[in-house]
Amino acid sequence: MATIYLQSSAGGIFAGDTLNARFNVGPGSQAHVTSQASTVVHTMKNSGAKTNMLIRVGDQALFEYLPDPLILFPKANLTARLRLEIDESSTVLLCDSYLTHDPYQSGGYFSQLANEIKITDEHGSLLCLDRSVIGGADFFRNEAGIMGTRRVIGTFYYISRSTDSNRVCELLHNALERCSDIYAGVSTLPNQIGAWARIIATDATPLREAVDKMWRASRADITGCQPAASRK
């Protein structure tokens, strides 16, 4: 399996950026794509930034997109959209996560994060849509039902239209049982396309551990083999 590290010399995401990426995963191919490290979303005073990603996964292909979390600096304003097109027999492991950071300890927080993950079939018919918009003031309100005292959130998807979604849900649940310092929920995805887990944590370390355990359990379930240790 090819392992691809996305790298950038820009030092993060800045105001006014519009970043586009596209992956075409051919029939029968396998690839693991990740980032070099967490990506900083810098302070933005007068405008925001956008990221757009399109992933097309062909017949009998396995694609893993597991980047490290985004780091939202004070006044960061980001709109992130990911569209995934899957074939009837393709399999995708996907992670989307972010955390907040105030490098000057001034009590600042990000302005807004608009996040969308849209999953369609090969003909463009909608299978699943996860969309959220949250402002930093709400994120840091310390209220039950939002984040409480936690500052890290992540979502892991095991997507397969040819696998029993209830079984995948149980697989992810079992992987998370061995994790600590997280609050997590697991459920099936609509249209019987797999399962997902949403995790919140106080910092990035327990989140990474949870994602790693779900990834390893999922890879072993798909291929029968445990993945090698990451070189990052």
CA distance 152 to 1: 30
One-letter identity of residue 47: S
Q: Determine which helix (DSSP H) or strand (DSSP E) holds 136, and give its type and residue range.
A: helix 136-139
The residue among 82 and 231 whose pLDDT is bigger is 82
Q: Quickly state the pLDDT bin for 150 (edges 50, 70, 90).
A: confident
DSSP string computed for 165-193: HHHHHHHHHHHHTT--SEEEEEEEPGGG-
Contact 179, 205 (CB under 8 A): no
CA distance 11 to 125: 37
Structure confidence by residue, pLDDT tens digits, 122-147: 999 999 999 999 998 888 876 656 67
Token representation of residue 207: 């989140």
Phi, psi of 227 (to 5 degrees): -75, 155
Phi, psi of 151 (to 5 degrees): -125, 5
Q: Where are the domains of the chain?
A: 2-223
* Confidence at residue 229, expressed as pLDDT on a 0 to 100 scale: 78
**Tokens 């359990």 label which residue?**
217
Instruction: Reply yes or no on whether the pLDDT at 17 is more than 80.
Output: yes
Structure confidence by residue, pLDDT tens digits, 49-103: 999 999 999 999 999 999 999 999 999 999 999 999 999 999 999 999 999 998 8
The share of the chain scoring above pLDDT 70, in percent, equals 97
